[in-house]
Every structure is written in structure tokens, then in C-alpha cells.
Copies of this chain bind each other. A is one copy, B any other.
């Protein structure tokens, strides 16, 4: 699905470089290793280790589903001050795998900690002591299948053996590919910013293509920075910026058991201490983090299963953000809106339907609806300038932006989604994901 990212990336994140793939480079304090554990019964990379030799500060947000995967349970239970390794596998979600799935992770953490301690003694002047609780996991793939413990544990020595302490654009591409499932494109994003006078890097990768309607979290998104920031500050920045990025996207309204977004700070750049996210010196970082997350979130949507159009739903002049979000997602998740857009049909009546069914009150005498810059509904009535030919032409584009003003207040929310195509059904009816 060849949605061109250039246009839509430009609309919201002006700092983002306008190229399809940004070149990520080295982050001090991070090491990466990628192997194939044969989880797909072929040679593709499927097992990734992120290793922080000095330990990393971190913060995570997780799926709000009432049924969560075993790795999320593990991650929630460990509350170490620092993370030394994140291990990500694809093909198997380790969800609904019960005690066996959880015990597998415990054994993997034991094994990994033991081998990393050995490596610490070999490589470091002052070796750290790594405990199993310093290891967290990301899992993605089929729910309910036996977790492939043997294949993964057999490859831990291999993973550790292949650890490289420096990164370049090729290793980032390799790792972004290794965490993919039904994704057709790797997702990478980067920003450079400052905290005080210090130059800071923020790099991110993500995966996700279906079952995407994150709720306070995401599919898988991992952000790395060389800044020095406490777990508390990272947590506040992540939560704040997830709300309008990963929590603003939906492919199909389905929320995964495995959603996970984590930010790691290696503390290699010795910026001055940040005690509050309201401090002036963190504003530049805050904005850059938002850009990276939004950039990744948009890439996830634009690679949504079977998508042929990228859709932005802006809801503004709303009573509160909750209402704006309800309306935005009611439109974004409506199969009838999404199929109309797939068919390039300017069927704005279905947008009306989706606004109406959302729940929140709207001021029907003032309601406006625009497709792109074309006014369709004005003061609650079909615009006098309405010309179906012009809108039909607009619908042919790859990027569709629908803007709704409800005139009940001053708040707004923007949701991102894609169209619903036959290809979506084909992928999900024919493929066990």
C-alpha cells in the first residue's frame, strides 16, 4: 500500500525531516542485537535485544485491555530503578498462555541476567549486577498459541554474542524490520533537540498494522534518548505525549492485549537536572518527543492493514477533549465512513451519521464540516458552495482530512486512521495473526 508519507507528516510535525525514512544513528549507552530464532520457520529476524550496559532510566505505558499478555504482566510486576535489557519477539503474543507463558519469561529473564552479568564482567571496568527484574519483554503476534520458549532461550547466547555497542542507519532498519508482524513497512523516527545547552537525540521505532486502537498505550513503540532524565520525568512526558499521538490513532477499533510503549534514557548526555515537566529547559525535548511519537503513530496508521488512504479527523470547538475524542473516533472507526473513503465516494452523510451516533451534544445550528479545505456543512446546513464534483476530486487523493466543528466549546482532538478496503478483509480473513 503506497501511501506517501510526505504530505501528512508535514501537517503536524514541522520539525520532521520530509523523507520517507529518517536515518537514525548512534545513541550512547545503547546496544542492539537482532537474530532469527526461526519463530516464523524461516530466516527472517524475529528476536531483538536492546541492552543498556549502564542501565537506562525508563517509563512505560501499557494496554488498558482487561486481558493482558504474560509479558505485560511481567513488566508490570517488575519495578526496578533501571532497565538493562528489553527483549522483543514477534510471531507469538504470549497472551492467554497462562502460567506456562509467564514462567517462560521468568526463565528467560533468569538466563539473560546470568549471561549479561558474565558479559558485564568481561566488558566493563565496574561491572553492574543485573537481576532478572531488570529485564522487560515486548511480545507481538498470535494470541493463545504456546509461547516458543525453547526457540527463544536457545537463541539468548546468540543474541548476547551479537551485541554491538554502536548503531548506524542499517542496524536501526534491521531492528525496525525485526519487530514487524503483518506490517508492510518498518517504522522509524528521530528528532534532535536540546536540554539547556546540551544536544539530545530521541530515536524511536514502532510496529503495528492491525488490532490498532491503542488505549493509553500502543502496539509496540520504543523510544531511546541519550538524555539524563529520571523515571518520574520520563513517565510524565510519555503519558502526556501518548494521549495525542498513539492514543489518537485507530486502524480497526480493536485493542491489543500486548500494547506497549516504553521510553529509555541512557543518561549519557550530562544535561542539567530536570525536576518538573513544566520547566522551560524541557520544552524543546517535550516537543521533539511529541514529534517522534506522532511521526511513528502516523506511520503505523498509514501502514494499517489494507489501507489505501490516510485519514485525519479533526474535531474542534468542542465542550471538552473527551467529547471531541468520542466524536473523532466515532467517525474514524465507522466502517461506513471508511468504506466510502476507500471507494472515493464523498458520502458526507455517513460522517453526519457517525457524529450523531457518537453521543456528545453538538450545536446543530452551527455545525461545520470540511473535507480538506472544502466547506460541506456550514451553520448546520449543506453549504451553498457545495459542489459534489470538487469533493469527488478531493476524494481521489491519498490523504483525506475531515474537519468538524461542533460549536459547544473550545476543546479539540485529532484522530488518525485509514480506509477500510477489501484488502483488509483479505488479510484478516486469510491470515492467522
Contact = CB atoms under 8 A, between A and B. Distances in A.
Given A143-B350, A352-B67, A254 B340 contact: no
Given A66-B361, A422-B425, A256 B353 contact: yes
Contacts of A359: 66
Contact of A352 (B143, B352, B357): B143
Interface stretch (A39-47, A50-58, A165-173, A329-337): A329-337
Q: Tell me which of A63, A144, A335 has the highest count of chain B C-beta atoms within 10 A of its own C-beta.
A: A335
Contacts of A422: 422, 425-426, 429
Interface residues of A, number: 62
Interface stretch (A14-22, A125-133, A262-270, A341-349): A341-349
A352 B144 contact: yes
B254 A334 contact: yes
A96 B425 contact: no
A174 B179 CA distance: 57
A342 B364 CA distance: 39
A236 interface: no
A368 to B, nearest CB: 13
A314 interface: no
Nearest to A96: B352
Interface string A345-378: 1011110111111111110100000000000010
Nearest to A346: B432
Nearest to A255: B357
A397 interface: no
Contacts of A210: 336
Q: Tell me which of A65, A67, A143, A432 has the highest count of chain B C-beta atoms within 10 A of its own C-beta.
A: A67
Nearest to A362: B66
A49 interface: no
A253 interface: yes
B349 A428 contact: no
Contacts of A432: 345, 347
Q: Tell me which of A98, A252, A425 has the highest count of chain B C-beta atoms within 10 A of its own C-beta.
A: A425
Contacts of A68: 356
Given A67-B355, A353-B67, A336 B144 contact: no
Interface in A144-181: 144-145
A364 B95 CA distance: 12
Nearest to A143: B349
Nearest to A259: B357
A339 interface: yes
Contact of A65 (B93, B98, B144, B353): B353
Given A67-B362, A428-B340, A255 B96 contact: no
B336 A96 contact: no
Contacts of A348: 144
Nearest to A252: B335
Q: Tell me which of A66, A213, A353, A359 has the highest count of chain B C-beta atoms within 10 A of its own C-beta.
A: A353
A279 interface: no
Contact of A342 (B255, B357, B429): B429
Contacts of A255: 353, 356-357
A381 B335 contact: no
A142 interface: yes
Nearest to A335: B252
Nearest to A347: B432
A366 to B, nearest CB: 13
A364 B67 contact: yes
A382 interface: yes
A345 B336 CA distance: 24
Contact of A424 (B347, B354, B425): B425
A380 B420 CA distance: 33
A256 B350 CA distance: 9
Interface string A97-130: 0100000000000000000000000000000000
Given A335-B428, A428-B335, A429-B345, A96 B382 contact: yes
Contacts of A334: 252-254
A430 B257 CA distance: 34
Closest A-B pairs by Cβ, 7 of them: A143-B349, A343-B429, A67-B356, A339-B428, A65-B356, A255-B357, A144-B349
